[in-house]
Amino acid sequence: MAKPRMTGFARFFIFLLIATPLAFFAASYINGEDGVQTLKGLFGKSDQTEQVKQDDTPKSDTKTDRLSEELSTCQKRNDDLYEENIQLKKELKALKAEN
């Protein structure tokens, strides 16, 4: 009796059938969303996806505040380093003038 064989494409297709839903639910979990609810919203089964998106707004506001604070800190640090660089250049010119 001949042994049934499976082509490489068939193996790849079966892998995608298993891996794609897992990747979708993992990405939904990482983004803080409910993957099942998202699927229901895509197929028109539920209106609760709007509530999930409204809950994400305060999180993004705090993230925006945190990032703007980090940006201002980096800008201040950059200004301080620029001033220090100018001061060190003046000191170097003074030392070269002495020699």
pLDDT digits (tens, 9 = 90+) for 32-74: 989 888 888 888 875 554 555 555 555 667 888 889 999 999 9
> Would you say residue 64 lies in a domain?
yes
Mean pLDDT, residues 74-86: 97
- How many domains are contained in the chain? 2
> Would you say residue 90 lies in a domain?
yes
> Would you say residue 3 lies in a domain?
no
% of the chain surpassing 90 pLDDT: 57
pLDDT at 21 over 60: yes
> Would you say residue 2 lies in a domain?
no
pTM of the model: 0.41
- List the domain range (segments joined by +) for residue 96: 57-99
Q: Which residues of 26-48 are buried (b: 16+ CB within 10 A; e: fewer)?
A: eebeeeebeeebbbebeeeeeee
- The reported pLDDT for the residue numbered 62 is 85
